[in-house]
Chain A
Amino acid sequence: MGLFDRLKEGLQKTRRGFIGPIEQVFRGGGVDEAVIERFEEILITSDVGTAATVEIIDHLRAEAESGRLRDYNDVKEFLRREMLAILGLPQPFVLYQERPFVVLCVGVNGVGKTTTIGKIAKRLTSEGHSVIMAASDTFRAAAIEQLQIWAERSGAQIVKHQSGSDPAAVAYDAVEAAKARGVDVVMVDTAGRLHTKTPLMEELKKVKRVIQKSMPGAPHETLLTVDATTGQNALRQARMFDEAIGVTGIALTKLDGTARGGIIFAIKKELNIPVRLIGVGEGDEDLRDFVPEEFVRALLEG
């Protein structure tokens, strides 16, 4: 099954929710105010947010008034271009030169950080890279055990300390171990934390600082995992994590539900942080590179 088909299948429910209403809109004929309001509803209910929605709808309204939109395909094409303009070109998750390549994974509680790390590790090992996982979530009960299970599944090594120990020390040891053993990639799993908890955000800054003590220039990727079910708060999460440690990419998980993940438009628009990976299912292969063109196409096409 090709990537596009896989994505399409994963986004089936998303599309069903999205394209269905659009087609209904056009059953009535031309592009009038009712049609535009219906689009507004579609964007809002996709968690695109009021600011981005207002902008897209204003463009749509101007375009409709100019008389350039005559039928369903015109509007679809217009929306496709508008949405793509926001998301920009694909910026997938890739390993570049440095070894070890250090990936710091952060996010609020319950978004699927550990699972995402597990799947990335699995993908990297199957591509022939060696991986060390750093069990820096030393807070949540059984987090280390959960990561351990993923390490076994993916064939990655794991560096862990006791539960409750210093997360920065674990990360440091993992990077040192990777350097000593010539391992390609270090995946640092951190405890889920709400972006409003200053001491916990300080702890994260320390993790980053300490990683840099072992390896200047690391982490090479700071990946924020965002749950597609989350509403407008995801934008605040992205902003606060970015301010604290500088986020370089987003992993958007749980797109296999009925949530549409529209918040990525606001995150890209306001913070210019690209989505690197999306989670469209439970299987190991269901963590996919994010390709805006395919994402938007899969949303808009049957």
Chain B
Amino acid sequence: MFDALSERLEGIFSKLKGRGYLKEEDVDLALREIRLALLEADINFKVVREFIARVKEKAVGKEVLDSLTPGQQVVKIVHSELIELLGSKNEKIRLSPNPPTIIMMVGLHGSGKTTTAAKLARLFKKQGRRPMLVAADLQRPAAVDQLITLGAQAGVPVFSSRETRDPVELSRASLQKARLEAQDIVILDTAGRFHIDEKLMTELGRVKEAVEPDEVLLVADAMTGQDAVNIARSFNDRIGIDGVVLTKMDGDARGGAALSLKAVTGKPIKFIGVGEKIEMLEPFHPDRIASRILGMGDVLSLIEKAREAVDLKEAEALQRKMTEESFTLEDLKDQLAKIRSMGPLENILSMIPGLGRQLKNVQVDEREFIKIEAIINSMTPGERREPQILNGSRKKRVAAGSGTRVSDVNRLLKQHREMKRMLKMFKGKKGRLAGLPRFMPF
């Protein structure tokens, strides 16, 4: 979309080449396009209006930098204003000096409260803390079962009761239990219902009064439309929230709701949910979401993930191997493992600017990777170093061992040969993509 938006703006600005400053009528023209883009991204109508006014004020009369076209200059201003509005840095959960820290999850039904509660618990446990989950959603059928199952996956105890129907009583009891067992973080999963449901909001208020949470987190679906402002305002006014978790960010929603939520409540977005699995919770980075709203890809996240996955020395060694043409199947396997450790491949590919749109229909099947790993694993060390020794009977053995067909083995060998050939072409271009694993041409 950034590409599309940029192109559209370039079209408008192509008539204006040579002018050094952004004029009001040019900016107005550009902002009309930007306004539509922001509305398509589900940012609330009023929020967009205020935002456009702000951008206009900043953009008119601004000098167009030498390196940029006027269209790029306007998008740059829009981008940095978006970041400014979203908050300039990631904000963490405040831990109480007197444990347990009590975290209360609130939100609409279907927003992902139960899953997010379990993800948070897992995150804290990974940090060496002792979290406990409380199944205080006594409304939805089987919500308690769901939390118990997820708690088991996270290795975190779940406090629940089949007897009590009163979430206030249950929450109070859970705190007692937490203190008794020296749990230092308590995460309450509450019932989801509409923000205009008086009974539920009153009940949530009572739970809050009873447990005095350190942190009330509003869980909101990234796909939410214009209504995000009403939801956020109601929960903030009636219950009072300290932060937001934006869920289902692994879809293709632009996530304009993030801006609406922030604009209405002034409260930071602290986490984003990026998948159904329990480890798929990430800190929120305003700059990245700003890019996403404009469709600019998420280069920063990608680089960070690559950094986590690849140790610098290894990367250097790999680069040496690549240029020395000794890139074996063993190296290929290591590479694939690293890429896979960065998260679901589709997420990674979508972070590369420009690629996001092109790759929309060219989905990569993760199972292909599993197949390739299985084939390589079924080879002897000798075969991995020198694949040319693989004759017909060896290939048959490898195929049988990996549960694939000989044609799969042949395809992999062919791809590996092509890769080596390509790497040869990069020979001499040192320093390119240092630290970043090269993407394989599958």
Question: Do A and B bind?
Answer: yes
- A194 in contact with B248 (CB, 8 Å): yes
Cβ proximity bits A34-73 to B, threshold 8 Å, 1 near / 0 not: 0000000100111101100000000000000000000000
Q: Does A256 contact B (CB under 8 A)?
A: yes
Cβ proximity bits B30-42 to A, threshold 8 Å, 1 near / 0 not: 0000001001111
- B145 in contact with A231 (CB, 8 Å): no
Q: Does B367 contact A (CB under 8 A)?
A: yes
Give the secondary structure class of A's interface. Answer: loop
Partner of A227, one of B110, B140, B143: B110
Q: Which residues of A contact B40 (CB under 8 A)?
A: 49-50, 232
Q: Does A220 contact B (CB under 8 A)?
A: no
Output the residue of A44, A45, A47 with the most chain B CB within 10 A.
A45
Q: Which residues of A contact B231 (CB under 8 A)?
A: 229, 257-258
- B248 in contact with A231 (CB, 8 Å): no
Partner of A256, one of B153, B194, B276: B194
Q: Which residues of A contact B145 (CB under 8 A)?
A: 141-142, 145-146
Q: Which residues of B contact A50 (CB under 8 A)?
A: 36, 39-40
Known: A142-B142, A142-B143. A231 touches B42 (CB 8 A): yes
B-facing residues in A85-139 (Cβ within 8 Å): 108-112, 139
Q: Which residues of B contact A46 (CB under 8 A)?
A: 226
- A146 in contact with B39 (CB, 8 Å): no
Partner of B251, one of A194, A199, A256, A258: A194
Known: A44-B45, A230-B223. A146 touches B252 (CB 8 A): no
Q: Does A211 contact B (CB under 8 A)?
A: no
Known: A50-B39, A229-B108. A257 touches B227 (CB 8 A): yes
- A233 in contact with B226 (CB, 8 Å): no
Tally of chain A residues near chain B (CB < 8 A): 44
Cβ proximity bits A228-252 to B, threshold 8 Å, 1 near / 0 not: 0111111010000000000000000
Q: Does B299 contact A (CB under 8 A)?
A: no
Residues of A within 8 A of B (CB): 13, 41, 44-47, 49-50, 108-112, 139-143, 145-146, 148-150, 194-199, 227, 229-234, 236, 254, 256-260, 263
Known: A230-B224, A259-B226. 16 other contacts (CB 8 A): A41-B45, A47-B225, A50-B39, A110-B248, A146-B142, A146-B146, A149-B141, A229-B108, A230-B225, A231-B42, A231-B257, A232-B254, A234-B223, A234-B225, A258-B195, A263-B225
Lowest 7 CB-CB distances: which A-B pairs, in order? A231-B225, A110-B110, A141-B149, A231-B42, A142-B145, A142-B146, A146-B142
